[in-house]
Structure 1
């Protein structure tokens, strides 16, 4: 029977290496979008729009961190702010045309990079990795 602690240690090291590689690769592939900025822009695009508090909750980030990222995205013309028609004190964030173009290009480059990385994997292994990652990320552990 496999040693659970040893397996957990390997997983922790490999996920750390994965995260480090993802950040490095993001910079290499698309300098205009940091990994965090890409993820926030993608979230806005997938949801049509959102509030800053939605981003903070979704990514489990401090509001000040989200505020800095939003300011950077806005300064770069990647997002637009609109007054929330349901609450004029709040602002809705949406990806701009420039932001959508940058996101589309970044996603194209990232898909290409992943295809290259998984060239030697068979379809069943790739599908199983997807299942495990989805299961891991869906776990609600506090």
Structure 2
């Protein structure tokens, strides 16, 4: 009975450490997202950056599709797209397959700034991991993949 309580306490401490470190990495990721948004445009905020990321990675999107993917209401997406348009980062055109809808596309300027900000982020990440052994990197990648798969199963 005493041994079982010790094991449970050790497991709880391990889980608490993982939770603290996971929270810390999420905060670092949020900071990187904000820095990357600012590298694209000084007035770009994180939510707008997320919209821009989708139209760059998935090409032109209807605003309703963006709302679904980001789990935001259509009015919020509309405001974000208007802001991105005012920053010359996206354009809106009529959707040829649905005359009532508009497609949101990234501008060439947005693509250029996006690529540059991504290169900076990758260089920073590589710099942080230069002292890691190849086996550590492989194990870390596999563990992150496993965690991401489990999050995907929750959705």
The one-character-per-residue Cα deviations of 1:46-65 (angstroms, maximum 9, x if unpaired) are 21211222222223334344
Equivalent residue, structure 2, for 1:118: 129
Greater per-residue helix proportion: 2
Aligned length: 141
Structure 1 alignment gaps of length 5 or more: none
Partner of 1:103: 114
1:112 Cα deviation after fit: 1.0
Residue 68 of structure 1 corresponds to: 79
1:1-142 matches, within 5 Å, as: 3=11, 5-28=12-35, 31=38, 32=41, 33-138=44-149, 139-142=152-155
Q: 1:79 to 1:114 in 2, by over 3 A?
A: same
List per-residue Cα deviations over 1:21-41 (Å, max 9, x = no partner): 223234445522444433332
Structure 2 unaligned residues grouped into runs of 5+? 1-6
Aligned partners of 1:38 and 1:103 also within 8 Å: no
- C-alpha deviations, 1:89-121, integer Å up to 9, x for none? 111111101110110111011111111111121
Q: Radius of gyration: which is bigger?
A: 2
Equivalent-residue separation in structure 1 for 2:136 and 2:94 (angstroms): 46
> Which moves more between the two structures, 96-105 or 8-17?
8-17
How far is 1:66 from its partner?
A: 2.8
Moved more, 102-111 or 25-34: 25-34
The TM-score normalised by the length of structure 1 is: 0.80
